[in-house]
């Protein structure tokens, strides 16, 4: 399959979900679906990207996203190199452009970039000659997370359109929330944003989401409960009185979950703060929690993105 209208994804980079058409999202998800099965085989390796070089350039800490991209590239047969530049005093602007020039000289074919500043990945993409995938930039976007969440939902619920999804917690600092908001609304889901007023900007209403400052009301009748990590590292000043009070008001517990549909799915992008935004018992509930499915879908979605973005190169070769 290639997209719901037989059209396919034809962009040079994947920098965000905002602006993607439903057929482009469907194309990526359809292709990822096939890679789920591939990843379950004993022999996981394909030669689709043989001869191509993938550089994972991470200016910010990451375990699961970097590993997931590395596995995805290797399963497709690419040469994968990890460059970790966190902790160095890299500034935006010239230094980032210098990095781009250096990379150009090494002739990578795909660059996977994570950066602590919103917009930095796009800036880099303007100065490199290869395809760029945004692996998370500041609080702006994390497109492959939204795609893997969508694939998880589509496989567990059979559709995205018409579902009601509650995205709960630290929306203000979350690139996961932004990318998911764009994707879910584009694909015809209803989105509720749930959290304390300090972490839930009223401007989010403009995107077409409903805002809830009361967790129980926000979860009433929803199909999907998507929890967000409290991003303490991005907070300057105090947004929550204490993590204990936050847990009592906005932590996902069994009693709060009882307000959602009986078969509502629990999701979390990881890493989880157990006892802060989610009760460990709920996170580990094998009937309701899709958290490990999300990790599995992550590799498949990243294989699909690498495959689609390098297609023009392979066709030209
Ligand atoms: N891993 C996700 C991200 O990089 C979510 C999180 O860190 O809370 O944005």
Mutate to test the pocket of ligand 1, among 229, 234, 274, 291 (most ligand atoms within 8 A of CB): 229
Ligand 1 centroid to residue 291 C-alpha, Å: 13
Output the pLDDT for position 92: 58
Looking at per-residue pLDDT, the higher value among 220 and 93 belongs to: 220
Atom of ligand 1 lying closest to residue 174 CA: 9
Nearest CA to ligand 1 atom 8: 229
Output the pLDDT for position 94: 61
Residues with CB under 6 A from ligand 1: 136, 142, 175-176, 229, 231, 269-270
Quick one: pLDDT band at residue 97, thresholds 50, 70, 90? confident
Mutate to test the pocket of ligand 1, among 69, 139, 142, 267 (most ligand atoms within 8 A of CB): 142
3-class SS at 267? strand
Phi-psi region of 287 (alpha: psi -120 to 50; beta: other; left: phi over 0): alpha
Atom of ligand 1 lying closest to residue 62 CA: 4
Structure confidence by residue, pLDDT tens digits, 199-238: 999 988 898 999 999 999 999 999 999 999 999 877 766 7
3-state DSSP: the chain helix, strand, coil percent, rounded to 5?
45, 15, 40
Quick one: pLDDT band at residue 1, thresholds 50, 70, 90? very low
Atom of ligand 1 lying closest to residue 176 CA: 9
Q: What pTM was estimated for this model as a whole? A: 0.95
Ligand 1 centroid to residue 174 C-alpha, Å: 7
Q: What is the DSSP letter of 12?
A: S
For the cut 70, the answer to whether the pLDDT of residue 290 exceeds it is yes
Q: Give dist(CA 273, CA 74) in Å, integer.
A: 30
pLDDT, averaged across the chain: 93
Quick one: pLDDT band at residue 6, thresholds 50, 70, 90? low
Burial of 298 per CB tally in 10 Å (0-12, 13-18, 19+): buried
Q: What is the DSSP letter of 208?
A: T
Atom of ligand 1 lying closest to residue 142 CA: 9
For the cut 70, the answer to whether the pLDDT of residue 5 exceeds it is no
Q: For residues 128 and 13, is the Cβ–Cβ distance under 8 A?
A: no
Q: For residues 204 and 261, is the Cβ–Cβ distance under 8 A?
A: no
Q: What is the DSSP letter of 190?
A: E
Output the pLDDT for position 242: 87
Output the pLDDT for position 212: 98
């Amino acid at each position: 399959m290639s997209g719901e209208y037989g059209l396919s994804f034809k962009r040079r980079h994947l920098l965000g979900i905002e602006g993607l058409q439903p057929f482009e999202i469907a194309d990526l998800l359809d292709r990822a679906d096939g890679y789920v099965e591939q990843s379950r085989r004993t022999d996981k390796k394909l030669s689709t990207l043989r001869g191509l070089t993938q550089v994972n350039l991470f200016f910010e800490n990451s375990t699961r996203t970097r590993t997931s991209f590395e596995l995805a590239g290797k399963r497709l047969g690419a040469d994968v190199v990890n460059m970790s530049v966190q902790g160095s005093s890299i500034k935006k602007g010239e230094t980032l452009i210098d990095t781009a020039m250096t990379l150009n000289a090494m002739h990578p074919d795909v660059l996977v970039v994570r950066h602590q500043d919103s917009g930095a990945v796009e800036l880099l993409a303007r100065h490199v000659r290869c395809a760029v995938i945004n692996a998370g930039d500041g609080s702006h976007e994390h497109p492959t997370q939204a795609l893997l969440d969508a694939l998880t939902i589509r496989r567990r619920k059979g559709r995205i359109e018409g579902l009601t999804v509650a995205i709960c917690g630290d929306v203000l600092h979350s690139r996961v929330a932004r990318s998911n908001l764009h994707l879910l609304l584009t694909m015809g889901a209803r989105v509720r944003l749930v959290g304390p007023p300090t972490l839930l900007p009223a401007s989010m209403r403009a995107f077409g989401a409903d805002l809830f400052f009361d967790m129980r009301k926000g979860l009433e009748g929803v199909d999907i409960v998507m929890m967000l990590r409290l991003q303490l590292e991005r907070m300057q000043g105090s947004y929550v009185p204490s993590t204990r009070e936050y847990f009592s008001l906005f932590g996902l517990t069994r009693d709060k979950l009882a307000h959602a549909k009986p078969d509502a799915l629990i999701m979390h992008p990881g890493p989880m703060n157990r006892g802060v935004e989610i009760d460990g018992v709920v996170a580990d509930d094998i009937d309701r929690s899709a958290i490990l499915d999300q990790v599995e879908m992550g590799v498949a979605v990243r294989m699909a993105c690498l495959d689609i973005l390098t297609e023009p190169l392979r066709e030209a070769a």
